[in-house]
Amino acid sequence: RHTRRAGCITTDPAAMVAPFDDHMVHRGHGVFDTAHVCDGRCHLLDRHLARFERSMRAAKLKPPAGQSYASMRAVILATIAASGLRDAQVRYYAGAGPGGFALSHDECVDSTFYVTVVAGRAAPDPNEGVAVVTSDVPIKPPAFATVKSVNYLPNAMVVADARDRGADYGVWMTERGLVGEGPSMNLAIVEDGCFVTPPTDDVLAGCTVRRAMELIARAPDGALAHLGVTDARHEDITVERAKSADEVVLIGSVIWCQPIVRWDGKEVGKGRARGCAGPCALALHEALLADFRDEESELVDVPYA
């Protein structure tokens, strides 16, 4: 792990600490993002870093003194290299910094930047599918839902609520009463030859779902063209529309593409996708994994020694 305050990288877990007076810790004034490493190369790193920069600006955070967004990118790659892990998940955080326990970040001596690398884990088996419930936990207001902040209490409550109700994940409804997103992933449906996911006005703009849309719409060999799905778009989705779609999926950088097989205790999907993993979900899962391994334009080499 790298910490800007210490100015070094360590592999000693005992040294992987954050100062308690960092406003990221006690005020939630911080943002983060993530990326995955497969066989020594980082997937979609620059897309995630672009979102990280947008989140920092929205949270009124600046790079630490002497750092730039370019040097932060270099630190992320150097930390991955120092870990020695060739299959990993990297997370990087920017905080308002230490200095006291007031609300204003004016007391902070400098912003902070942390990078943590952990061993990667296999994506869940898409053949099993997941169960979701319509969450009773209020969604974050758009100004906060569209920023990847460290304040994940609502997200954790969505998962806790879902588990209490016998499901894997909860699905947030937007303030307009439309389908929003999962606790750390986007939702999409397949209907009438089209892949549809909600607009990003009031949910986080997912890098993985964006990539999935590109893979689907790529002519002439889109990821789902053999299944008759060649269009991908953003549209409002009601709960009723989602539950009656041909297929419903969750998409994120940890789960890739997971089919939703039950929603609020009832089976969803049509035909052979009714209550089980559908062909589009399985094909898209494989397309994302292939992109993760082989798409040179979206992979960044890690500078191992």
Residues designated as active site:
148
Residue 305: burial class (beta carbons within 10 Å; 0-12, 13-18, 19+): exposed
The residue type found at 291 is: D
In the chain, what is the straight-line distance between the N-terminal and C-terminal CA atoms, in Å?
17
DSSP labels, 168-227: SEEEPBPTTSSB---SSSEEEEEETTEEEE--TTSS---HHHHHHHHHHH-SSS-TTGGG
Q: Is 120 exposed, middle or buried (0-12, 13-18, 19+ CB in 10 A)?
A: middle
Q: Which residue(s) pair with 259 in the sheet? A: 249
Cβ pair 283, 126 in contact under 8 A: no
Q: Which amino acid is at 10?
A: T
CA distances from 141 to 14, 59, 159 (A): 37, 14, 18
Burial of 26-65, coded b for 16+ CB within 10 Å and e otherwise, reads ebbbbbbbbbbbbebbbbbbebbbebbbbbbeebebebbe
E strands, 77-142, are 88-95, 112-119, 130-134
| Residue 63 and residue 76 in contact, taking contact as beta carbons nearer than 8 Å | no
